[in-house]
Amino acid sequence: MALKYVDLPSGGPKASETKRRRLQQSNYDDKLVDKKYAERGTSGAAQAKKEKDAMLEKLVDDLENIRSYGKDAPKGRSFGQKNRGKQGKMITGKAKGGKVNNYEHGGCVMAGRGGSFKGVK
């Protein structure tokens, strides 16, 4: 009796499935951008185009990763990440100047809000 090799289906996703899901995600994101800028006229259309172009560049990078790495592409750190930043300005600790332990004049952070100025010369 000879041994016979049998191809068993793997339980994980295939590269084609990964590509399909990423394209679906991209289409969904495009619709969200369209909806977000729908009522803003020509300036909204320009901003939507700018965001869509950035998302398209990211999609091309992800599809290249799928082509190179197959079903392991989503394990990459940047795969499928949104490149739209959080709203508002983010200030890091270094930009703030680091931690302040002792404030001048009794620790009063907001001028005129408490903190006595005893002994201030």
Number of domains in the chain: 1
For Cα atoms 23, 24, 29, give the angle at the middle one, nearest 5 degrees. 95
Would you state the pLDDT for residue 113? 55
Q: What is the mean pLDDT of residues 61-66?
A: 89
Residue 61 has pLDDT above 80, yes or no: yes
SS3 content of the chain, % helix, strand, coil (to 5): 55, 0, 45
pTM over 0.75: no
Is 80 inside a domain boundary?
Answer: yes
pLDDT band at 18 (very low <50, low <70, confident <90, very high): confident
Would you state the pLDDT for residue 48? 93
Would you state the pLDDT for residue 52? 93
Question: How far is the C-alpha of 26 from the C-alpha of 28, rounded, in Å?
Answer: 5
Tell me the residue range of the domain where 34 lies.
Answer: 15-87
Is 94 inside a domain boundary?
Answer: no
Residue 26 has pLDDT above 80, yes or no: yes
Q: What is the mean pLDDT of residues 94-121?
A: 54
Q: What is the mean pLDDT of residues 18-23?
A: 89
